Amino acid sequence: MKNEIKSFTIRFAGDSGDGMQLVGTRLTETLVVQGIDVSTLPDYPAEIRAPGGTVSGVSGYQMQFADHDIYSPGDTIDCLVAMNPAALKKCIADVAKGALVIVNEDAFTEQNLEKAGYENNPFADDSLIQYRIIKIPATSLTLQAVEGIGLQKPQAERCKNFFMLGLALWLLDCPIDATKEWISSKFKKNPQVLEANQRAFSSGYAYGDTKELSGLRFTVNKMEDFKAGTYINLSGNEAAAYGLVAAAESAGRRLFFGAYPITPASDIMQELAALPRFNVSMFQAEDEIAAVCAAIGASFGGAIAAAGTSGPGLCLKTEGINLAVIAELPLVVIDVQRGGPSTGLPTKTEQSDLLQALFGRSGESPVVVIAPQTPSDCFHSAYEAVRLAVHAMTPVIMLSDGYIGNGTEPFRIPEEGELPPIKLSFEVSPEKFQPYLRDPETLSRPWCVPGTPGYEHRIGGLEKQDVTGAVSYEPDNHDRMNRIRLEKIMKLQSVIPDQEIFGEEEGELLIVGWGGTFGSIRTAVEELRNEGVKVSHAQIKYLNPFPKNLGDILKRFKKILVPEINLGQLAWLLRAKYLIEPHQLNLLRGLPLKISDVKEKAIELLEAVR
């Protein structure tokens, strides 16, 4: 018997060496090619191999899939697959009441229970009575399946994630041939391991037909409301890398990417390192400072220049970005935000670099700040960041985060000619050329690069005389230049889209978010509206400058709620700029906002009105 469902959220959790990320990514690939919408959230500890069996060492991979457009990997779990007691302990609070909990029974030894901090066996008391528990001896079944291949016991046990993958494919009624082929190609260099994984996988799939699981097979149909096109499954970090390449290709320039390894941004540099054939130069520098400085040098040389980092690296890049501000050179800095301050929570998500991006530099130093909203939007935001950087000859900071950076979803590849072309700044003849001559419309200066005869000039970090670019200490000139640099950024309001509203254009409550909280907030608002509650939603992508209609929008609602994964940074900005008093919802748990938290807060505010 199959159950047809609209959407389903499943989480695989185990020790960080248990291979849960592999199970999750493979299941995702299997579902997306069937035309099902999938949104994923990998959640892993900072340690490569955290102490085995402990709650802090649990690595998880959560995914929601649906027959309609979804924006988040789900709040409450419909099925938890727990490979050990620690995984059960860490995740059980997120499981919906009555939902399915599949555990690897073999791992529930006294020793493991103790490591996980269980005083009593949770199966022996009634603590799990609200869930539908399925106990499967996955380790012993895996060992049986691979018997005779000649693997050592620890190696044989490691195949249990393939057992679980097989079981998951059965549970979700997926075809298995593609995965079998995938296993064959992935392990072709080691025939013994290949054979063992194939057998464990088949054994897991076959286990589905046993009676314990009868009636527990779920089917999600293909999406109906999709946009026609060609799709690939992408993480936000991959999408950001691709967006940069596409933009440089449109501009007809080389893409130069300066980077230093940092969690959770390193995927971007790794993606770009593999793409020299698209005229991409990925430079791994000796530190964060050199990475951004090399990008500035490349920008001076006419390349589309970008750097990728996370919060601690953005701190180090501060002075470099400031140089690009005064030298008026295009530069994109992608900050994949993580928990801070300092080293903070390297593998966990947060939105706490907003004020740093806007203000974390000496002097009056305005830059463009934009924030992608979903993994797919990282492509479009990176592309947009390049467009704005070269349009206004300015640094642009793109605030992604660990959640959308690591999360994946199907990305529709733009058709040829669909993306706006990247236009370089204005041209001027050598006779008329001056380094700080300005396009009257954009206030941007010409981008004349070394190697071009007739345009020899010097720029630098000292204040410049307007137009001529000569060093100037003249008081009025300094005042004027500061105002020009600001006005140049504000003028971008005319080339960025107006803020959109989901729901009514005016009313009782508007929820205003920014960046990666889009999925949680939009899902909460959709659910509320389906329940008959009138709530509107605006997710701000352009944080500097704000869209020009934002102030008007905010005034049309009685109450504004600003949910953020920080202590109120956007709320602070809105208060300062528009003199409004927004309500806040702030949670810094290293995790995405919960849909239920947003809904509860919205209802609380609306009830207070009545």
Partner 1 sequence: MIETQKLARKDFMSGQTVRWCPGCGDYAILAQVQSLMPALGIPREKIVFISGIGCSSRFPYYMNTYGFHTIHGRALPIAEGLKMANSDLQIWVITGDGDALSIGGNHFIHALRKNFDLKIIMFNNEIYGLTKGQYSPTSKIGQKTKSSPFGSIEKPVHPLSLALGVEATFVARTIDADPKHMLQVFKRASEHKGTAYVEVLQNCLIFNNGAHSFITDKMQRPDHALYLEHGKPLRFGPDNSKGIALKGTSPVIVEQVVDEKELLVHDETHEEPTHAYFLSRMRHPEFPVPLGVFRAVKKPIYDETMNQRIESAKKSRTEKNFRDFMVGNNSWTMR
Binding residues for partner 1, rule: CB under 8 A, are: 29, 32-33, 35, 223, 226, 228-233, 242, 245-246, 249, 254, 256, 258, 275-281, 283, 285-287, 289-291, 293-303, 305, 319-320, 322-323, 327, 413-414, 416, 449-462, 470-471
Q: How far is the CB of 198 from partner 1 (least distance, A)?
A: 21
Which residue number, 246 or 570, has a Cβ lying nearer to partner 1? Answer: 246
Taking the complex as a whole, how short is the minimal distance between the CB of residue 90 and partner 1, in angstroms? Answer: 32
Nearer to partner 1, 457 or 529 (CB): 457
Instruction: Tell me how far the alpha carbon of residue 199 is from its chain's centroid.
Output: 35
Q: How far apart are CA 588 and CA 401, in angstroms?
A: 13
Specify the residue, 75 or 288, whose C-beta has the smaller distance to partner 1. 288
Which is closer to partner 1, CB of 168 or CB of 298? 298
How far is CA 534 from its chain centroid? Answer: 29
Q: What are the tokens at 352? A: 């706490």
C-alpha to C-alpha distance for 193 and 155, rounded to whole angstroms: 9
Nearer to partner 1, 203 or 233 (CB): 233
Instruction: Tokens for 397, please give them.
Output: 């900071």
Comparing CB distances to partner 1, the nearer of 414 and 507 is 414
Distance (Å, rounded) from C-alpha 66 to C-alpha 275?
33
CB of 317 to partner 1, least distance (A): 11
E strand or H helix at 284, and its extent? strand 280-284
Residue with Cβ nearer partner 1 (211 or 277): 277
Residue 262 to residue 288: CA distance in whole angstroms: 9
Q: How far is the CB of 85 from partner 1 (least distance, A)?
A: 36
CA distance 415 to 407: 24
CA dihedral sign of residues 515, 517, 523, 529: negative
Containing H/E element for 3? Answer: strand 2-5
CA distances from 433 to 148, 164, 241, 338, 462 (A): 78, 66, 34, 44, 20
Closer CB to partner 1, 275 or 437, in the complex: 275
Tell me the three state secondary structure of residue 81.
strand
Q: From the CB of 383, what's the least distance to partner 1, in Å?
A: 11
- By DSSP bridging, strand 77-82 and strand 95-104 are parallel
Q: Please, is 303 exposed, middle or buried when counting C-beta atoms within 10 Å of its C-beta (0-12, 13-18, 19+)?
A: buried
Cβ contact 413:276 at 8 Å? no
Residue type for position 135: K
CB of 510 to partner 1, least distance (A): 33
3-state SS assignment for residue 586: strand
Q: At its nearest, how many Å lie between partner 1 and the CB of residue 513?
A: 29
Provide the token pair at 237. Answer: 């970090």
Query: At its nearest, how many Å lie between partner 1 and the CB of residue 239?
Result: 10
Least distance (Å) from partner 1 to the CB of residue 210?
A: 32
Reported as type and span, the H/E element at residue 400 is: strand 395-401
Between 206 and 424, CB nearer to partner 1 = 424
